[in-house]
Structure formats: structure tokens, C-alpha cells
A and B are shown apart, each in its own frame.
Chain A
């Protein structure tokens, strides 16, 4: 095995710097409760980022991530507690539709950006139909998992490590993940070797759908209720997380561990700006500035690598 990939150096560095800055501004955050509060909301974002990463890995982009996660949240809050069988069937159905979208995109050679943009309205509409006004309740077991208090390490950290590990094993280590990455790297080579690119793209979308489903459920576990607009900003957050984590838009070059770190960094950036007592009006702009800063740093590092 090679040592840590150079792709991960910058994401790890930016997260460390941000954590140090937060602890310096607010030393009380350096506790079990503080850390859990800081990273709690990062868990669903990390799951959505991994889902987005799998789509980006096959050279596509998913503009429906936020709407899909919102729909899952509505199903989890409104239907799963009252009618578990129907709820589970709907969740599975959503994942299957995701896989079918992947197949459609490959068979018809459609641009994923258009298909997913169109689907985002479908997901949003379905979410409003299921839950016209914010409400519902989280299933008890889900809240229990998300609000558990294991000794020593907060659940947010355990969950992040678990997500990164599972995603790494599936995407980077398994032969299945290698084939999915091959589709992003050189689709022609994959079809020349006699494999079905339709099946592979459908599996990639299905796998992304599973992670996105977990993101929606985790979100409800934290907020204890659903809303049709609860996760709309996840679309851009997940894309930013993938890129922050060292992934690239094309060529199947992604890092699951990096994606989780990217999601943590983005979440932390919000808290950091609050601790700076920055007016909420400026926060989104400032978050964007942090993103641009990290990307610029990456570009500089890349160019230095190329020259050497």
C-alpha cells in the first residue's frame, strides 16, 4: 500500500486549520458536547457528498441531490413512522428510480445535468405532495441512533469515520468500485472489455441513491421532523464538498475520505463564521470565499507539482 494520497493533503490541512481556528475563538467547543454540536449536521451532508461523489466519479453531475434528500426526509418523517411497510417500499422505490435514471442517461446518451435538473422538480413536487407543510415525526429508532451518546467519542465523529470507511471500501478497494471508477476514467475501455456500461452507470446511480437516502434519514433523525425544502442547499454543498475533498469534475478522480472531510470542512466553516459574529447576511458569501480560497490553494499546489 502506498502512503496517504497527495490528493488528501490539502483537504486534511484545511480542516485542521479550521478546527484550530474554531477552538481558538471558542475554547468551550473543545468538549464532548461542543464537538458533537459542531459536527452533528455534518453527518447528513457527508452522506449526500459521498452520493454526489459517486455521480461525479462517472463524469456526471447531480443537480437533484437536495430535492431528493428532502423527499427522503419527508417520506421518513411522514410515512415511515405510521406505515413502515409503505415507507420502506417508497424508499426502495426512490433508489430504484435513481438507478433507472443512470441507465436512461447511458442508453440515450443524455446530459446528466439536464436529466437531474428536471428530476429535481419531480422530487420536490413529490415531497410537497407527501408533506404539504413542515411536520411529521422521526421514527424513534432513528432519533435514538442520531442522538446516541457513546462514551468518549461523540456520535458525529463515529458516524463520519464510519461513512468514510464504508465509502472507501466500496469505491476504492472493491473490484466493483474499480469498475465504476473505470467508467469515469475511460468509458470506451470499459465497453471494449465487453462490460455493460448501462449496467455500470445504473449501479453507480443506485449506489448514490442509497447514500442520498441515508442522508435524508440521518437529517430527519437530527431534526425530528420533515419539510419539503429541508435540504435544498445540499445540491451545491455536496458538489462543493466533493471538490473541496480533492475530487475532480471529470476523469473519475475522486476520494471518498476527502469527500467526507470536505463535508466536515463546509459545516465547520458555517460555525466558524458564527463564532466570528459575522452577520448571517454575509455568511453565504463568506462561505463561498473560503471555498474559492481552498480551490485556489489547490491550483497552486497542482501547478507546483507539475513544474517539479
Chain B
């Protein structure tokens, strides 16, 4: 449903709240945003959609002044910066301080809440914002945020975004604002967004719930690979059109995954593992976990892995091995040598009389250096002397050097160059052919294509199970986003 018609005309003439002119943003070699032109006018609600890594967050961070563009410009009409322009953002990461009360949180954001009587003024502002957006809410302005439910915290965050202040809100960016809200509260928010825009405010709305986007947005912008791919009034998009726009249309010819063709996996009843979420895998199968980032994939993997290992003792023959995606946090021992990092998981098989058999350790190190191609003159060098891609190879080798039958991978190719990726894909296929099972969470579409079977996650549960030919970008996108049947 479209709220206002002919909005694109008035939108083009009205003064833009913010305007991006050829804005680009690079992080090292990665171009997160590529020459984007976008103007957001007062009174419009812009729906922003795209898959993982499409550049939505980068775009928002440029608009909210968190990053400066590496190229191009971000211009705020009649204001020097985003604060003066009245741009507010509600991000997914949470911007509340849990140790403060609701009204104190408002004063962290709003600069003019100082001096005598600031508590009363803060309480008035936040209470009236909550009353307007969520009538019937039962949030006290002097409650500690940590004592509120998740939904109430999200409501407070939204209310802070819309609350009156020294400079009124002119553009509010809402990134998945309804993720913790139930349907009736979400409906109150959507109604408020429409009201806010009708009164001349602007909103950027990011959601995986397509129904919400169609309900509120006057214009929809689709992003892919850091570019704006399509930009149309909401009424001119259909469900199919959106999915097509988000995907890579040129690669739509689906071929069955080569991994599946290479070996016979047997029928589905032969699953060697089943998790409470419903993930299943057969021996030698490469199983992908797809969907938008943060929808429960990493948690499902962690639960499975922890259920397979013990808190109390290591196992010489572990049932599962883990490949970390966040190398710094979950993977590397930063001051150890490459060899020690590599043999860590297999240590129990290398131990004799409680001491490590260094000859055996060196042999394993040399074997995996050859097999997976770790580029270093000496495996005794510190791990940090390697490039990121080679560090990741070491973590792969660490898991593969064990006898574990199941390898759990938590988006391991994040920030790895394409050459390394290809080598590791080959290695994974090779190991799968030898009977190893892989559970592979990935945020990248071309990796998911390497899988025999894919489970798509949405809101912490599996929304689709795809196999063989049905593993396509289109099907994964369709299952990642929630389409209400009546929306399109």
C-alpha cells in the first residue's frame, strides 16, 4: 500500500534534508559504497532494502556522520553537520546505556538537558514521545533501562529518536526497529512513522519485513554491492521485482552445486546430526546456513558445537571442530607461532606422557603447510606475520588436522581475498568427498552456492530448506525477507 501518491514529484522539488553526491566509502581494498547519489526530502519515508553487505549500514553511517566519505559529498541543507540537521539514528547494535534510567538516557543524546530542573524537562520530553508513539505503554521514565524488557528497551530507543529536543528531529533512521516488538506495538510505530512524515519529517526505514516497508515507505531504494540498484515509488515495486533487484540477475542460471554432483550422499534419513533448530546433515555433506546476518545462525552453530564438546576435558578424538570467523576474538593465539596455532585443536593426539611430541607437531605443521598452502618460509614464525587470508587458512588447518567428523564454520571467509577463498573451497570439497560433514554459516551468496543443502534463517528459526537446484540467490533472498502475503 502506498501512503501518498505523486510523492516523487514533490519530493524532488522539496528541499532535501540530506543529499549524497557521488559518495563512496572504502575500507582498505573493499569498496563498501560506490558512487551513490541520493537525496532525501522532507516528508518522505525511504525504504532501504538489500542483502548482507549490500552497503545499507555504510550508507546510514555516512548520513549520520559516523564516517566521512572517502570520495564525494554528504550535504545537509542549511546545516554544517548531522547534529545540526536534526538527523537521528536508531541502530541495531543498541545505543542505550543499560545502567541509566530512561530519562537519563535521553540526556546523553540531547545536549541541552543540563542545569537546574533538567530531570523534569527530560522526563516530560521522553514521556510525551512515548505517549504519542506508543499510546498505552507502561514505561516509567525513572526506570533503569536494564530492568525493562527487550521490547520496552527498543520502544525507549525509538522514542528517544523522535523526542523533542533543542533541534527537532527532521530525519530519523530506523534500522530494523521492530525486531523485538510484537505486532500491535509495531503497528503503532508504523502509524507514527506515517504521521511523522505527513507532518514534514523524513524517515529512512530498514527492515527485513517487506510488509512493513510496503506499508510505510513512499519510495523504495534497493542496494547491492555498494550501489543503488533500483529506486522507485513503493507502489511500482512488486514482491518479485524486489527479489530480482536484490539478486545478481546475470547469474540467475542455476546450476546444481558441483559438490552434490561429485558424490552420492544417500537419502535424507541417513542424517548423522540433527539440532533442535532443525538443521540436519548427512555424512560428507556441505550444509549451508544462510539468511541475513544476526538472525540466529551463529547462535545455532555455537549451541551445536558446545553440545558436542565438554567444558571439563579436551578430547583426543573430538566429534566436531570449529573454524572461527572473528579471528581475533574466537580464533588466533596472537603471540604464538603459526605451527602452535595450527596444532592447537589436535594437541591431545600429539601428547605423550603429558608432553608434546615436537617432531610429530612439526610433521603435521609441514603437511598442512603443503596441503593448504600457507605462505611462509618458516612455520615457527609468529602467526601475525601472515596475511589475513593465510591466518584464516591456519584456522582451517587447525580444524581439519583433527579427526573430527563435523567441521563447524562461523562465516570464516569474512575479509579474505578471492584467491584464498578458491583454494579453501577446493579443500572443503576434497574433505567432504572423504566423508567429512561441514556446517557452514556464510553471509556471502557465492559461498552458499558451494553447499549441498541450505537452511535459511529468519528471526532465529529456519524459514526454508533448499537443496540441489533450488539453492539459488532468488530463493535465499525470498526466504531471508518476510513478505506478508497481502503486501505486494
Interface residues of A (CB under 8 A from B): 1-2, 173, 175-176, 178-179, 181-182, 184-186, 188-190, 192-195, 251-253
Contacts and interface: CB of A to CB of B under 8 A. Distances in A.
A45 B66 CA distance: 43
Interface string B94-124: 1111111000110111010111001100000
Contact of A185 (B99, B111, B118): B99
B374 to A, nearest CB: 31
* Chain A residues touching B, majority SS: helix
Interface residues on B, range: 20 to 34
A117 B66 CA distance: 34
B97 A185 contact: yes
A306 to B, nearest CB: 12
Nearest to B104: A178
Nearest to A193: B109
A155 B44 CA distance: 65
Contacts of B378: none
A175 B113 contact: yes
Contacts of B104: 178, 181-182
* Interface pairs A-B: 3 shortest CB-CB: A185-B97, A185-B99, A186-B97
Nearest to A251: B99
B97 A1 contact: no
8 contacts: A176-B114, A178-B104, A178-B108, A182-B104, A189-B108, A192-B66, A193-B95, A252-B100
Interface string B350-392: 0000000000000000000000000000000000000000000
Contacts of B114: 175-176
B14 interface: no
Contacts of A188: 93, 95
B82 to A, nearest CB: 8
Nearest to B142: A2
A173 B100 CA distance: 11
Nearest to A179: B108
B118 A175 contact: yes
B113 A253 contact: no
A194 B97 contact: no
Contact of B100 (A185, A192, A193): A185
A181 B142 contact: no
A178 B107 contact: yes
Contacts of A185: 97-100
Given A175-B107, A178-B104, A178-B107, A189 B99 contact: no
B153 to A, nearest CB: 12
A186 B96 contact: yes
A1 B142 contact: yes
Given A2-B142, A175-B113, A252 B108 contact: no
B150 to A, nearest CB: 16
Given A179-B108, A182-B100, A182-B108, A192 B113 contact: no
B83 interface: yes
Contacts of A2: 142
Contacts of B95: 186, 188-189, 192-193
Nearest to B140: A2
A193 B89 CA distance: 10
Contact of B96 (A173, A176, A181, A189): A189
Contacts of A181: 97, 99-100, 104
A25 B310 CA distance: 51
B83 to A, nearest CB: 5
Given A1-B142, A188-B95, A178 B83 contact: no
Contact of A186 (B94, B111, B118): B94
Contact of A194 (B83, B105, B119): B83
A189 B97 contact: yes
A253 B83 contact: no
Nearest to B114: A175
Contact of B98 (A173, A190, A251): A251
A213 B142 CA distance: 33
Residue of B83, B96, B108, B115 ringed by the most chain A CB atoms within 10 A: B108
Nearest to A254: B99
Nearest to B103: A178
A253 B93 contact: no
A251 B97 CA distance: 9
A253 B96 CA distance: 14
Contact of B99 (A190, A192, A252): A252
Nearest to A191: B66
A46 to B, nearest CB: 22
A184 B66 contact: no
Contacts of B89: 192
Contacts of B142: 1-2
A182 B119 CA distance: 15
Contacts of B93: 188
B108 A193 contact: yes
Given A2-B142, A182-B108, A192-B91, 15 more contacts: A173-B119, A175-B118, A178-B104, A178-B107, A181-B97, A181-B100, A182-B100, A184-B99, A185-B99, A188-B93, A190-B97, A193-B108, A252-B97, A252-B99, A252-B100
A2 B104 CA distance: 14
Nearest to B115: A175
Contacts of A195: 108
A43 B119 CA distance: 31
B141 to A, nearest CB: 11
A186 B115 CA distance: 23
B106 to A, nearest CB: 10
Nearest to A183: B97
Interface string B49-83: 00000000000000000100000000000000001
B166 to A, nearest CB: 12
Contacts of A176: 114
Contacts of A184: 99
Contacts of B97: 181-182, 185-186, 189-190, 252
Contacts of B109: 193
Nearest to B110: A193
B113 to A, nearest CB: 6
B99 A178 contact: no
Nearest to B81: A194
Contacts of A252: 97, 99-100
Residue of B104, B111, B115, B142 ringed by the most chain A CB atoms within 10 A: B104
